């Protein structure tokens, strides 16, 4: 899948950008319910919670590098603590994610 970055309309500074997946025509855009980021090991990761998954973004390269999809409902909150990603969902579960891409 190709990923693209573009300036957000109405931001004259050019400091606000949109990272999104797919064709670039808006067809793959979805509601983001929560965000978290971490800087570790020389990498900056952004985690975004969606209706039933978490996307992991490499902000240094501006690409999506992984999708975590174990929730059965909307991902409502995210937190990174000591190299682990914690996610809470409307499925009434808390998941603990470990791995090299978590940071």
**What is the full DSSP assignment across 42-96?**
TEEEEEEE-SS-EEEEETTTTEEEEEE---SS-EEEEEEETTEEEEEETTS-EEE
Average pLDDT over residues 24-43: 76
Please tell me which residue, 36 or 63, carries the higher pLDDT value: 36
Lowest mean pLDDT among 4-18, 20-34, 88-102: 4-18
Query: What was the pLDDT predicted at 76?
Result: 94
pTM of the entire predicted model: 0.75
pLDDT over 90 at 92, yes or no? yes
pLDDT of 14: 57
In this prediction, residues 31-50 reach a mean pLDDT of: 89
């Amino acid at each position: 899948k190709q990923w693209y970055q573009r300036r957000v309309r109405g931001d004259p500074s050019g400091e606000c950008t949109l990272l999104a997946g797919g064709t670039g025509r808006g067809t793959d855009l979805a509601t983001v319910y929560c965000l978290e980021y971490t800087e570790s090991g020389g990498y900056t990761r952004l985690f975004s919670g969606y209706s039933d998954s978490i996307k992991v973004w490499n902000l240094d390269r501006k690409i999506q590098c992984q999708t975590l999809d174990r929730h059965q409902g909307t991902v409502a909150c995210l937190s990174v603590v000591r190299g682990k990603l914690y996610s809470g969902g409307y499925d009434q579960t808390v998941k603990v994610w470990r791995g090299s891409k978590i940071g």
